[in-house]
Structure 1
Amino acid sequence: MSAAAAARQILTRLTEVMASRLHAQGKLDQVVEIIGECLSSEVCSIYLLREGMLELFATRGLNQSAVHVTRMAIGEGLTGAIAQKVETLNLAEAKAHPDFQYRPETGEEKFHSFAGVPIVYRERAVGVLCVQHVEQRRYEEVEIEALQTTAMVLSELIANAELVDEEEARGLTQEQTGPQTLAGLTLVKGLGAGAAVYHQPRVEITQVMAEDIEAERQRVYRAFDKMREQIDSLASQAEFGVGGEHEEVLETYKMFAYDEGWSRRINEAIDSGLTAEAAIERVQQHTRMRMREIDDPLLADRMHDLEDLANRLLRIVAGQIGTAASQGLRKDTILIARNLGPAELLEYDKRRLKGVILEEGSLTAHVVIVARAMNVPVIGRVKGVRTTIREGDEILLDATAGSAIVRPLPQVADAFHARFAKSREKQAAYASLRDVEPFTRCGTRIQVMMNAGLRDDMSALAMTGADGVGLFRTEFQFLVSATLPQRERQTRLYRDVLDAAGDKPVIFRTVDIGGDKSVPYLASEIAAQDENPAMGWRALRLALEREGLMKVQARSLLEAAAGRSLYVMFPMVSEPWEFDAAKAVFDEQLAYLRAQKKLLPERIHFGAMLEVPALAEVLDMLLPKLSFLSIGTNDLTQFLFAADRANPKLAERYDWLSPSILRFLRRVMQSSIGSGVDIGVCGEMGGRRLEALALMGIGYRRLSITPAAVGPIKELVRKVDLAELSAAMTGWLADPQVSLRAALSAWADAREIEYD
């Protein structure tokens, strides 16, 4: 008899039992009899989780007096091991297994062979179904598969009949209901608290047994067709994949999506009498059990890909294709996902989204760039998410420390919220400085500007009182688009940004994509993957080679700024000729618009970003051509130290207050004196209080930083005497230590100046 036929025979009889008016215990008693008869098994028993223990609920072949008496802990004996590991056991001699424990009250001493399968509900074991024989023999594959299918039906009966309590019906042990701390990699710093919401909500299977097998088969066929269409179109989606790995991931997905073996196993499960949803879940359970036995990390990753694909198929067949964003966030939320694309993140209500936890994720992922702009804390590389976090669990996210506390104890939650409240109090104090101009104690005006990249970011300009936008990252629109953004879309965005800014300046940085910010619609033009993407084909290098891209953006900016002042900044300029070539593109588009009698910007200010150290050696050639110069400290630091900032081992190794960085920055500042060029810093360095002190001490008067840092830096500026600070910096840099951090901290302490 085939596995499907054996399971079908059992399910046919189980359907009658389920439909009967018997109470739950009576149904379980009938179930063990049916399974025993159909599999010609001398013993069939059902153990269910109750009060944290596995309890014998029904049996055929063991002593009836043991029912509701025999109990064992999770992990205890063969039955406990099955529940703990959520795996199948098939033994010719049970007593030879190291986990075997003899229970005299059951009368099982005469039985040798043993097979057991977990009864799984919501991915966790809530019980065990097992069979035993007197003779020594391993059960055949058809018998094991029949048991596994039956266990799935039992999970529905158990849940509906409330045979285990609510927590245990959700498959949770005491450890899984208590507080847990998860560690991860800090991707975006910050604090957040809220209820756990999965980006892709789990499909609840409400009907296990099929009424019409052919109808279920057709549902699966249609779902497979739709899923394969989705996978085939994923190559053109900007949010698909991570970095340059999307092609490899896509090929793996395609391999599984078109795998006949996988679809055949689902078909066989339908043949046994399961609905389409239950059949997919049945095969998925088998996959999860196999995953637990895999030591090879590469193979384990491929099995995870198959699980992702099965979840996609399950959502399609159940008609639940949307993510949690489509359902709307109802309260403060910590979003849980394996990975996330930037466009997907932008779909969520920013007012409700308080943090993100990723099972994977990397420092260079597009979603991290967007999350940082949204000021949403994120941690990645978090293990054990799906087995620890339930939908709706309270989570305290400390992304700065790279940790998340799940289901915290009251005293822990109180301490966290007190810390959070103190942080908000500080923010409120900073917000009160919104309309205060940042003058130092000696009367020098410091320009404090903010960085932005999204249309929504512009609301922070009025909230913080920033002097303008010192860096508008135009690449965000390119990162979240499936295709190259059309000129009309770009123009509309830039015009909206300028409208929101009013009289305050906005410095638009031309698109910085390529390298670690790869987009699929340019992938075909990259012959080989850059070994060092940050130093590869990106930013201005890419834009000058992709002349059409640069022309479209130039025209869009010029049209959007008609009748106003336009500030344009070119990123990653390495030599003066690159600036000349980029400006020539704008001049050409300006001449075209003038010939078309179009309204033009009143004035255009061209600037460059100093990120490549080589540019510092030719500033005398470049400065006469510039209106302003901005130093991008994030990239500059990694280029000066030859240290990839995306590498966690190097991220904190090189200090922004090291003499080498500060001497370099001072030399750049001094070389610009008398040129008439406005010079400033944009990057995280200027948003940290000690680092901002150092920058002011070596001559910098314009800082462009994250909106959240504007208030703290404005407050800092008002406590500083520049003459005193500059003299101290000159002395420290003349005879430096490894880092100026200790000396600058002591200087700030002596003047009661707070720092990070």
Structure 2
Amino acid sequence: MIAASGAREILRRLHDVMASKAGAQAKLNQVVAVVAEQLTSEVASIYLLRDGVLELYATKGLAQDAVHVTKLALGQGLVGTIAASREPLNLAEAREHPDFAYRPETGEDIFHSFAGVPIVRREASVGVLCVQHREPRDYDDVEIEALQTVAMVLSELIAGAGLVDDAQVARARAQATGSVRLGGLKLVDGLARGVAVLHQPRVVVEHTVAEDVEVERARVYNAFIRMREQIDKMMGQAEFSAAGDHDEILETYKMFAYDEGWSRRINEAIDSGLTAEAAIQRVQQRTSARMRSIDDPYLRERLTDLDDLSNRLLRIVSGQLGTAAQLGLRTETILLARNLGPAELLEYDKRYLKGVVLEEGSLTAHVTIVARAMGIPVLGRVRDLRTTIADGDELLLDGGAGALFVRPSAQMLRSFEATSALKAKRQAEYAALRELPAETLDGTRMTLLMNAGLRDDAAALEQTNADGIGLFRTEFQFLVAATLPRRERQTALYRSILETAGDRPVTFRTVDIGGDKSVPYMREETEAEENPAMGWRAIRLALGRDGLMKVQARALLDAAAGRTLNIMFPMISEPWEFDAAKALVEEQRKWLERSGRPQPAKIRYGAMLEVPALAECLDVLFPKIDFLSIGTNDLTQFLFAADRANPMLADRYDWLSPAILRFLRRVVRAGDAAGIPITVCGEMGGRPLEALALAAIGVERLSVTPAAIGPLKAMFRSAKLAPLRAAMTEWLDAPGVDVRERLGGAVHAQGIICG
């Protein structure tokens, strides 16, 4: 048996081996000699995964002629079983194990007991370290832990020697764990293929053996202090002060962060001679092994929280605090995260970011809206994300089917390619409708505008032949900037959008930041709110910071010189807010006039109806405005008192609920009576069945994502609207009608294209 202090001696000797100038094979030969001596073992052997099989690379005690000759497949024999399961084996009588496979060339028939541990790199087995004895015996826990510690050092050694690379690691993981299909909530439709990248990357431990144990202990101590400060700060934030589902998560985080048992185990690992990073990972691996053996989903979730905290502690102690965006993407990527803010998503390079998978997420969260604008498919509410997928795994994302395929099989790849071909065929069918109007079979002409927010989005006008841009979200420029964008930069963006649009109208929404669209240069004003969604954001923030609003107004006026400027103000609650915003723009227009500067040929002012209170003041508002846009995302969350960022409520409230449809019908009828054009520009309008419902209550102008233009045009051109409007009136006036079911039946009866 090895004494506890012996672990440090093993690491000291391994450090000398790694520091020597010997070749990789010589170093492995020395490692097995050290292990055999320190564990008083008659056999110590190292198997490495090469070309998909486990090859005996070094041994002390078995026949030397077997080195590079004996090979086992993953799952074959005791060694293959360890590699496939990533679990240790501890056997007093090896031959009694059902997976035992005898290899006569090794001369192992005289040995009875066997213990082995996986050599793991990037969460994949790349080899096995094992020991054997003639006499039957159970190995002590401290001996198994010593083997696991040596295996960590071996992982560093074989990677540094080039005996295994990241491609081999990825193949090893795929071979060991196989293909998996994960389901989730479709947030943004689309297909994507790429490798898995964690938004908060796991730290790859490259140095395992400590030079100075006390220095490593101090590093961990300071990292614990910083991590606990972060958790305490998180719990003290105003948005977490009220009771809610987050309470249990944060309390668990705090419990683990202050758990003396966890910190003691890490310190014990440092005592054995490991670096701070290796000690944290060593304890994390033990925890992960426990997690895989637990059936209780509640306990598994708690251990996942500890895994998350371990990664946080690793990032702090290693100084690797950046996100994957800051580190930079280098290949086609599908991003994995618990959740994302819109500004975080916009930091990623669009050339490489092909899809996003979230553990949380909702249809109307701002990050979903931004991803839809970027044309990036998103899948939300995917369980077991971090425990099933590792960095570098190949992924196939089918947003439409709400499915993620991990390490796909050949059959999965063929199915994905067939789906891609079908999608391309549909896109070709939609493209064939490009020059045709969105007109129903009974003659109602629908106006299909598109939403935009990035300079590149305007190019979709030509591709889709949309009737214009019904919503240009100016805040995207503010979200991606480290400081407040200068007026000249804003002017250049707005002018380029107008020039690209040509004769088509463009409606600019003034900056809508705050809430979950916080920006670093104004964070102090928005972080201390108890309910940011209903707080200091949008027009409220813009009027409060009128310098920001004045700069944007000047930029819009300059950009639209000689053209018509359509400008609308977000989150208007009462008419006086519209008056104040318009007065601010008019003040800048008059300054241009006095200065003899060019100005727009015409300015049309509009408001966004997102706050239900405004619907009670339409008689006051309508004489002041030229148009009204309904933002169904915020409107829905305010009507139902349901936070759109809360995953528990993501699919609880239906856009085809009589509550929302009756509300919208009342607004549309009031607009018709006043001669005010009304556009729906929320996510509701981009979903075919919901868009049909909107048309059935009188909406004839929709502003949607570019990808939705083709499907909506195909749908409207196959529908007769008059009977649907009559039916919708009956459904909404009668109590207890399931509008979604009735409308779906009408679609089937008419043969409407509603894919």
Q: 2: distance between equivalents of 1:170 and 1:157?
A: 20
Further displaced range: 195-204 or 451-460: 195-204
Q: 2: distance between equivalents of 1:647 and 1:321?
A: 23
Q: 2: distance between equivalents of 1:513 and 1:323?
A: 22
Contact 1:52 1:74 (C-alpha < 8 Å) held by counterparts: no
2:305 to 281, 298, 301: 301
Partner of 2:429: 429
From the superposition, tell whether residues 520 and 663 of structure 1 become closer, same or farther in structure 2 (CA, over 3 Å).
Answer: same
Q: Which segments of 5 or more consecutive residues in structure 1 lack a partner in the other structure? A: 234-240
Aligned pairs for 1:203-242 (under 5 A) are: none
Further displaced range: 416-425 or 383-392: 383-392
From the superposition, tell whether residues 365 and 284 of structure 1 become closer, same or farther in structure 2 (CA, over 3 Å).
Answer: farther
Q: 1:551 and 2:543 equivalent?
A: no
Contact 1:364 1:517 (C-alpha < 8 Å) held by counterparts: no
From the superposition, tell whether residues 471 and 557 of structure 1 become closer, same or farther in structure 2 (CA, over 3 Å).
Answer: same
Q: 1:288 and 2:292 equivalent?
A: no
Aligned pairs for 1:50-199 (under 5 A) are: 86=86, 117-125=117-125, 126-130=127-131, 147-155=147-155, 171-172=172-173, 174-176=175-177, 178-196=178-196
Contact 1:87 1:289 (C-alpha < 8 Å) held by counterparts: no
Offset, 1:620 = 0.7
Cα deviation digits, residues 205-224 of structure 1 (max 9, x gap): 889899xx69x9999999x9
From the superposition, tell whether residues 191 and 65 of structure 1 become closer, same or farther in structure 2 (CA, over 3 Å).
Answer: closer
Offset, 1:468 = 0.9
Partner of 1:467: 467
Q: 1:569 and 2:568 equivalent?
A: yes
From the superposition, tell whether residues 738 and 561 of structure 1 become closer, same or farther in structure 2 (CA, over 3 Å).
Answer: same
Cα deviation digits, residues 40-81 of structure 1 (max 9, x gap): x2445336377999898876679999999999996998x899
Q: 1: distance between equivalents of 2:690 and 2:155?
A: 59
Aligned pairs for 1:447-466 (under 5 A) are: 447-466=447-466
Give 3-state SS (helix, strand or coil) of 2:354's partner.
strand
Cα deviation digits, residues 461-507 of structure 1 (max 9, x gap): 11111111111112222333333333333223222222222221111
From the superposition, tell whether residues 687 and 521 of structure 1 become closer, same or farther in structure 2 (CA, over 3 Å).
Answer: same
Contact 2:492 2:559 (C-alpha < 8 Å) held by counterparts: yes
Give 3-state SS (helix, strand or coil) of 1:516's partner.
coil
Offset, 1:116 = 6.0
From the superposition, tell whether residues 139 and 66 of structure 1 become closer, same or farther in structure 2 (CA, over 3 Å).
Answer: farther
Contact 1:4 1:146 (C-alpha < 8 Å) held by counterparts: no
Q: 1: distance between equivalents of 2:302 and 2:389?
A: 25
Partner of 1:501: 501
From the superposition, tell whether residues 625 and 61 of structure 1 become closer, same or farther in structure 2 (CA, over 3 Å).
Answer: same
Give 3-state SS (helix, strand or coil) of 1:673's partner.
helix
Offset, 1:377 = 0.8
Q: 1: distance between equivalents of 2:690 and 2:358?
A: 30
Give 3-state SS (helix, strand or coil) of 1:508's partner.
strand
Give 3-state SS (helix, strand or coil) of 1:466's partner.
coil
Q: 2: distance between equivalents of 1:164 and 1:106?
A: 34
Q: 1: distance between equivalents of 2:423 and 2:165?
A: 43
Offset, 1:707 = 0.9
Q: 2: distance between equivalents of 1:665 and 1:578?
A: 22
Cα deviation digits, residues 9-58 of structure 1 (max 9, x gap): 24425766953876x9xx54x5433323345x244533637799989887
Aligned pairs for 1:511-530 (under 5 A) are: 511-526=511-526, 528-530=528-530
Contact 1:55 1:71 (C-alpha < 8 Å) held by counterparts: yes
Offset, 1:671 = 1.6
Partner of 1:416: 416
Q: 2: distance between equivalents of 1:351 and 1:66?
A: 49
From the superposition, tell whether residues 217 and 324 of structure 1 become closer, same or farther in structure 2 (CA, over 3 Å).
Answer: farther
Q: 1:8 and 2:7 equivalent?
A: no
Further displaced range: 549-558 or 378-387: 378-387
Aligned AA (2:416): F
From the superposition, tell whether residues 56 and 522 of structure 1 become closer, same or farther in structure 2 (CA, over 3 Å).
Answer: same
Partner of 1:623: 622
TM-score normalized by the length of structure 2: 0.77
From the superposition, tell whether residues 710 and 221 of structure 1 become closer, same or farther in structure 2 (CA, over 3 Å).
Answer: farther
Offset, 1:232 = 12
Contact 1:610 1:631 (C-alpha < 8 Å) held by counterparts: yes
Aligned pairs for 1:223-262 (under 5 A) are: none
Q: 1:746 and 2:750 equivalent?
A: no
Aligned AA (1:580): D
- The percentage of aligned residue pairs carrying the same residue is 50
Give 3-state SS (helix, strand or coil) of 2:661's partner.
helix
Give 3-state SS (helix, strand or coil) of 2:674's partner.
coil
Aligned AA (2:643): D
Partner of 1:236: none
Q: 1: distance between equivalents of 2:314 and 2:721?
A: 62
From the superposition, tell whether residues 408 and 544 of structure 1 become closer, same or farther in structure 2 (CA, over 3 Å).
Answer: same
Partner of 2:586: 587
From the superposition, tell whether residues 600 and 70 of structure 1 become closer, same or farther in structure 2 (CA, over 3 Å).
Answer: closer
Offset, 1:449 = 0.5
Contact 1:361 1:380 (C-alpha < 8 Å) held by counterparts: yes
Give 3-state SS (helix, strand or coil) of 2:633's partner.
helix
Aligned pairs for 1:267-286 (under 5 A) are: 280-281=277-278, 283-286=280-283
From the superposition, tell whether residues 351 and 55 of structure 1 become closer, same or farther in structure 2 (CA, over 3 Å).
Answer: closer
Q: 2: distance between equivalents of 1:705 and 1:514?
A: 23
Give 3-state SS (helix, strand or coil) of 1:368's partner.
helix
Contact 1:325 1:347 (C-alpha < 8 Å) held by counterparts: no
Contact 2:74 2:84 (C-alpha < 8 Å) held by counterparts: no
Q: 2: distance between equivalents of 1:173 and 1:715?
A: 42
Give 3-state SS (helix, strand or coil) of 2:695's partner.
helix
From the superposition, tell whether residues 464 and 14 of structure 1 become closer, same or farther in structure 2 (CA, over 3 Å).
Answer: closer
Contact 2:615 2:667 (C-alpha < 8 Å) held by counterparts: yes
Q: 2: distance between equivalents of 1:375 and 1:242?
A: 33
Give 3-state SS (helix, strand or coil) of 1:700's partner.
coil
Q: 2: distance between equivalents of 1:302 and 1:481?
A: 34
Q: RMSD of the alignment, in Å?
A: 5.4
Contact 2:633 2:682 (C-alpha < 8 Å) held by counterparts: yes
Q: 2: distance between equivalents of 1:242 and 1:384?
A: 29
Q: 1: distance between equivalents of 2:34 and 2:170?
A: 24
Q: 1:398 and 2:402 equivalent?
A: no
Q: 2: distance between equivalents of 1:270 and 1:458?
A: 60
Give 3-state SS (helix, strand or coil) of 1:449's partner.
strand
Offset, 1:622 = 0.7
Contact 1:492 1:560 (C-alpha < 8 Å) held by counterparts: yes
Aligned residues: 722
Give 3-state SS (helix, strand or coil) of 2:187's partner.
strand
From the superposition, tell whether residues 739 and 435 of structure 1 become closer, same or farther in structure 2 (CA, over 3 Å).
Answer: same
From the superposition, tell whether residues 53 and 457 of structure 1 become closer, same or farther in structure 2 (CA, over 3 Å).
Answer: closer
Cα deviation digits, residues 712-748 of structure 1 (max 9, x gap): 2223333444444433433443446522333333333
Offset, 1:608 = 0.9
Give 3-state SS (helix, strand or coil) of 1:45's partner.
strand
Further displaced range: 387-396 or 491-500: 387-396
Give 3-state SS (helix, strand or coil) of 2:630's partner.
strand
Aligned AA (2:23): A
Give 3-state SS (helix, strand or coil) of 1:585's partner.
helix
Aligned pairs for 1:720-735 (under 5 A) are: 720-735=719-734
Give 3-state SS (helix, strand or coil) of 2:525's partner.
coil
Q: 1: distance between equivalents of 2:186 and 2:515?
A: 22
Q: 2: distance between equivalents of 1:20 and 1:325?
A: 31
From the superposition, tell whether residues 133 and 739 of structure 1 become closer, same or farther in structure 2 (CA, over 3 Å).
Answer: same
Contact 2:193 2:354 (C-alpha < 8 Å) held by counterparts: yes
Aligned AA (1:433): L
Offset, 1:711 = 1.8
Q: 1: distance between equivalents of 2:15 and 2:206?
A: 16
Contact 1:716 1:753 (C-alpha < 8 Å) held by counterparts: yes
Aligned AA (1:604): I
